Structure 1
Amino acid sequence: MIKTLSFRGLLGFGIATLLSSTVLANEGLSQEEANTIVKEDLASTQVMTEVCPAIIGKNAKFDQKIQLLIQSYLQDYSDKSMTFDKIQADSEYKSVLDEARQAAKETSNDEQKSVCEEVLAYQPE
């Protein structure tokens, strides 16, 4: 079962994974575990698209950074033909997304704002 993480923790882990020079395979994870992490990262990103506009307003830079994050996360998925639209139909993804939405509800507005600002400051390698 997937351990529930805070909204901020999930995003922080996702960005750390993205920015890290180590590949998921080097962490001793099975492909299934690595795919689950990708799904968690995508779910947290999707939740940010739902939460952040109310906090920071509509922002083209934010939208661009979100798309960069989505594409970066999908690069680590085992099925290279996987798209963000396709993964929406995955039952595990739906469950992870529900958990991320619940975690976001339990996160303070200050923490949510901080996460949204982290996305705006994100610089891909």
Structure 2
Amino acid sequence: MKDTDYDLYTSDIAEVVKVGHEAGIEVKAILEVAMLTDDEVKAACECAVNAGVDFVKTSTGRGGNPSIKHVKIMRSSVPYNVGVKFSGYGSYNSAQLTIMALAAGATRLGTRRAPEIIDEIEAYFKELIIE
């Protein structure tokens, strides 16, 4: 991606997509967005879509922390039928960040704290309910 050889990048992803789809497996392209410029994130999404992926994913968590801005760029760069997964955020552990990611267009989230986040969201909404 950094070399702007988008044809190579796309064909590399397409090979993985072909094998995955033949096996009936959804394929996600992990973009490591924190290492890319905004324009590169957009280009990476477009290449991944052209390769036939089912999802684009922000990060593994090894390349730096993705932001909500990255989710917005990704969502605006892929069609509705392609999912956007927000994960890899080093401190991704709050209900607030979860809600922000979903509002920004994430369709799937990756976290090890799902039960705690769900409890936090439920507690928040219980406080809002007037009995």
TM-score, with length taken from structure 1: 0.29
Asked which structure has the greater RCO (Cα within 8 Å, sep 6+), the reply is 1
The TM-score normalised by the length of structure 2 is 0.29
Flag the structure with higher helix content: 1
Which of the two has greater strand per residue? 2
